[in-house]
């Protein structure tokens, strides 16, 4: 069997490059090794083997022989979400959590929030001052957080929900810089190192967040309201085969997971989407013409089904996938992937960013071309912005719904113009690629 190789540079240098220049890190790997490589710059406490071909992605996602496990591993996920989150649960517990949450994040539950999303996007953009450049990422965070809080709690305006929003912004922004964000990538720094350490501040903010949510859970247990349809109410109402409901800790794990994943990644994708629409007059004109073909009072479902709008969103997620690689799987027994031997105890993953930039799948991969998604149907192993399989992003449908409606409302109801005249390169913010410094200005319509 073939043996997977690693990059020639020292591990410490790979580590620095992954933190400071992740796109360069992936490009170096792909240029050197066309199928797979040992990602020694990414530290999960055990070797990480990255594949980036559709064939390998299919093998890993389908896991037909059962050689791969959804078992957890030491990473920043446990540090953020704790042990009760669907992100950090393993085996049967993980499957049960996914089975519980998926219906609440798909289908009729999500579609019912269409008008709410449209109204929230309008409200946020209406509040933006005229003729004054604003940070697109900040506005996108505000929109995505308002939507997620409404989904979770059924309201946004109450004081405790505003405090949750404030703490969320504080926590995700705390590690946004390369220096402050280092504890996310080095586990030995995930400890209280004194009053000035980022991790101590993070732990304090997370505890404040948990106290608010535990208080919310206690209030709902004392004053049950069967008419509520928010996610927390639904989570509190479900029972297992023995009639047991979720514990407070289990509820906390799921709420924290949805708050974090429903904010940072969606806000980054929304920012990239607006960047690509507003930097190209032709794309914006095509999108506006398609939106104008609908009735003004059209159901949001009709909006999200528009083909060109869908293509623009898909091309954004291709160029700037939500995560640079899928959540890894643990190898349980000797297996073979694309002719490579993989031993037990190895973590394997799919390098989403590299797959999405392979020239043999996407000609001119660094050019934003929505038309490619109208001309061709890509397989779920060629286009996998939300991962796949048992570790795929369960919030992908609501994220895509929000992306489509946000740009549709922005383009059709507001007069916005891109401030940045030069191309913006992806930069790491926590574990997400974002267009740092992107600004838009609102003019009088």
Instruction: Name the class of domain 11-139+250-443.
Output: mainly alpha
Which of the four pLDDT bands, split at 50, 70 and 90, describes residue 183?
A: very low
Higher pLDDT among residues 243 and 82, named by residue: 243
Whole-number average pLDDT of the chain = 83
Higher pLDDT among residues 156 and 186, named by residue: 156
pLDDT per residue as tens digits for the range 293-306: 887 567 888 899 99
Cβ neighbour number for residue 299 with a 10 Å cutoff: 13
How many residues are given for the chain?
445
Contact partners, residue 104, CB within 8 Å, separation at least 6: 231, 234, 235
190/359 Cα distance (integer angstroms): 39
Higher pLDDT among residues 165 and 7, named by residue: 165
DSSP category for residue 121: H
SS3 at position 51: strand
CA angle (148 as vertex; 146, 150 as ends), nearest 5: 70
**Is the predicted pLDDT of residue 186 greater than 90, yes or no?**
no
25/138 Cα distance (integer angstroms): 27
Q: What's the pLDDT at 81?
A: 59
pLDDT per residue as tens digits for the range 309-362: 999 999 999 999 988 888 888 898 999 998 888 989 888 999 999 999 999 999
> Helices 396-413 and 281-292, interaxial angle, to 10°?
90
CA distances from 193 to 236, 285, 335, 402, 424 (A): 37, 53, 42, 39, 35
């Amino acid at each position: 069997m073939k043996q997977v190789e690693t990059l020639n540079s020292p591990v410490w240098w790979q580590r620095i490059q992954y933190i400071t220049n992740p796109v360069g890190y992936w490009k170096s790997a792909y240029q050197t090794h066309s199928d797979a490589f040992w990602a020694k710059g990414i530290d999960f406490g055990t070797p990480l083997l990255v594949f980036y071909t559709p064939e390998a992605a299919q093998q890993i996602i389908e896991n037909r022989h059962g050689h791969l496990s959804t078992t957890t591993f030491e990473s920043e996920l446990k540090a953020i979400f704790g042990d009760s989150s669907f992100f950090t649960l393993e085996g049967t517990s993980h499957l049960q959590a996914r089975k519980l949450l998926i219906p609440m994040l798909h289908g009729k539950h999500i579609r019912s929030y269409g008008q709410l999303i449209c109204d929230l996007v309008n409200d946020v953009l209406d509040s933006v001052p005229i003729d004054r450049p604003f940070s697109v990422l900040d506005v996108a965070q505000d929109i995505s957080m308002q939507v997620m809080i409404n989904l979770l709690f059924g309201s946004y305006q109450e004081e405790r929900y505003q405090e949750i929003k404030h703490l969320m912004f504080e926590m995700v922004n705390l590690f946004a810089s390369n220096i402050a964000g280092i504890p996310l990538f080095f586990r030995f720094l995930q400890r209280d190192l004194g009053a000035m350490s980022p991790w101590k501040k993070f732990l304090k903010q997370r505890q404040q967040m948990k106290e608010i949510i535990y208080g919310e859970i206690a209030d709902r247990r004392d004053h049950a309201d069967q008419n509520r349809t928010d996610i927390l109410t639904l989570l509190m109402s479900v029972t297992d085969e023995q009639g047991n409901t979720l514990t407070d800790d289990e509820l906390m794990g799921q709420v924290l997971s949805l708050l974090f994943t429903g904010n940072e990644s969606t806000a980054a994708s929304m920012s990239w989407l607006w960047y690509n629409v507003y930097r190209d007059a032709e794309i914006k004109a095509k999108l506006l013409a398609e939106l104008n073909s609908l009735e003004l009072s059209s159901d949001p479902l009709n909006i999200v089904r528009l083909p060109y709008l869908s293509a623009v969103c898909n091309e954004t997620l291709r160029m700037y996938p939500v995560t640079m690689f899928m959540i890894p799987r643990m190898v349980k027994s000797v297996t073979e992937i694309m002719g490579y031997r993989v031993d037990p105890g190895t973590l394997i993953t799919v390098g989403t960013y590299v797959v999405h930039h392979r020239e043999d799948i996407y000609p001119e991969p660094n050019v934003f071309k929505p038309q490619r998604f109208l001309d061709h149907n890509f397989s779920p192993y060629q286009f996998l912005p939300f991962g796949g399989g048992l570790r795929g992003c369960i919030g992908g449908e609501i994220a895509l719904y929000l992306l489509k409606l946000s740009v549709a409302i922005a383009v059709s109801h507001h007069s916005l113009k891109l401030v940045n005249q030069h191309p913006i390169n992806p930069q790491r913010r926590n574990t997400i690629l974002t267009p740092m410094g992107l600004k838009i200005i609102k003019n009088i319509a």
